[in-house]
Copies of this chain bind each other. A is one copy, B any other.
Amino acid sequence: MSKTKQSLKKLETFKNPNPNRDYVITITCPEFTSVCPKTGLPDFGEIVINYTPNKLCIELKSLKYYLLGFRNKGIFYEYLVNKILDDLSRLLKPKEITITGNFTPRGGISTSVTAKYSGSKL
């Protein structure tokens, strides 16, 4: 009945329809949730993916299942954002990609993490 297991499946891609032109795709996922590894309580936030595709674009439905795969995993904010950046930059080999996670307040304190990969630096 749950599709959580399915979400562990691989991310899928499709061919960039305009590989000769640099252009930017921004994907915003305000319904992200994972689990705090320290307290076992859920964390909530928004994941923003901003990239300039090279030969491949990310397929949105598989991205949704990929993000859903963190739902019941214990993971720290800093590690999470860097892991999504690693996974997507390895898969897409984009010209440039930035991942931002904006997390809701805990104890009156809210946190956001932003990490960037530039194809030329690889």
Q: Are A110 and B27 closer than 8 Å at their CB atoms?
A: yes
**Which single member of B21, B25, B109 contacts A60 (CB below 8 Å)?**
B109
Q: Indicate whether A16 sits within 8 Å of B78 (C-beta atoms), given known contacts A3-B41, A72-B72, A114-B24.
A: yes
* 7 pairs of A and B residues whose beta carbons are closest in the complex: A23-B115, A3-B40, A31-B108, A18-B82, A31-B44, A26-B112, A24-B114
5 additional contacts (CB under 8 A) given A3-B40, A17-B78: A25-B111, A28-B110, A30-B104, A53-B78, A61-B107
Which residues of B lie under 8 Å from residue A78 when comparing CB positions? 16-18, 23, 25, 53, 57
Is there a chain B Cβ closer than 8 Å to A95's Cβ?
A: no
| B-chain residues with CB within 8 Å of residue A91 when the two chains form the complex | none
Q: Is A42 an interface residue (CB 8 A)?
A: yes
Q: Does A11 contact B (CB under 8 A)?
A: no
Q: How many of chain A's residues have a CB under 8 angstroms from any CB in B?
A: 56
Please state if B111 and A26 are interface contacts (CB–CB under 8 Å).
yes
Closest to A45 in B: B31
